[in-house]
A = this chain, B = another copy of it.
Amino acid sequence: MANSESLDKVVLELRRGLIVLAVLSQLGDEQYGYSLLKLLSDQGLEVDQGTLYPLLRRLETQGLLESVWKLEEARPRRYYVISAEGEKLLPKLKKEWAGIVSVMNKMLA
């Protein structure tokens, strides 16, 4: 395997789990899939459509998000927003994330 492929693979792995946290953190204001996609990429986190849409559905199934179809706009969009349960989870997640970062910083120093 070429070195660049290894890099790509591992970087993908690195980013994988963070997407959930990123998504939850951005859904204090409601977003639809495509707008969230843009919002994330504007901030430097490129996520594939094929990753994001299923993720949103999954997080809704897990009760961390809620969604509604809005048909009155230019075109139908499914809006997602963080749920009460998600709100409770988010600060804990952030704390876990901070802990992980500090562990990694020590380890990489």
Q: Could you list which residues of chain A lie within 8 angstroms of chain B, going by C-beta atoms?
A: 1, 3, 6-7, 9-18, 20-22, 25-26, 43-45, 62-64, 85, 88-89, 92-94, 96-97, 99-101, 103-104, 106-108
Contacts and interface: CB of A to CB of B under 8 A. Distances in A.
Contact of A1 (B3, B10, B16, B63): B63
A108 B89 contact: no
Given A62-B6, A96-B11, A103-B43, A17 B20 contact: no
Given A13-B16, A15-B17, A22 B96 contact: no
Contacts of A104: 18, 21-22, 97
Contacts of A1: 62-63
Contacts of A22: 104, 107
